Amino acid sequence: MDFNLQTPTLLFSAISLLMLAYTNRFVVIANLIRDLYDRHQKNPTLITEQQLVNLRKRMSIIRNMQVFGAFSFFFSVLSLLLLFASAILLAKWSFGISLILLLISLALLIAELQISVNALNIQLKDFKEK
């Protein structure tokens, strides 16, 4: 495989867009937690309690998604610097680490999506189909 300056830069736009999506998820969930917490303080129910527990898990996973995404970006940039320093083998290893970290971040995204669906099922638990 030909490893040059273009190889690590392929991840830049992908990781940037992914981080933006993660941040948007974080902001939406943070607002939802605030609303649900206020509602639960005024009128505690089992459903709002379960939703808050679920949202806490999701926030933790999203934080980890962001951390692994940021480290992926870090190692991708590091591989560029190593290429400039003509440390080709280290640059390849750094880029490989970057790809692994990105895979972990994406795996966490899948886990968070599963929990998100579970949250909707909790919300719809008392809804009956006609």
- For the chain, first and last CA: distance in Å? 58
pLDDT digits (tens, 9 = 90+) for 94-106: 999 999 999 999 9
Average pLDDT on 41-58 reads 88
HSE, CB side, 13 Å, CA atoms: give it for residue 17: 5
pLDDT of residue 128: 66
What is the overall mean pLDDT for the chain? 88
Burial profile 15-36: b = 16 or more Cβ within 10 angstroms, e = fewer:
beebbeebeebbeebeebbeeb
Percentage of the chain exceeding pLDDT 70: 95
User: How far is Cα 31 from Cα 35, in angstroms, rounded to an integer?
Assistant: 6
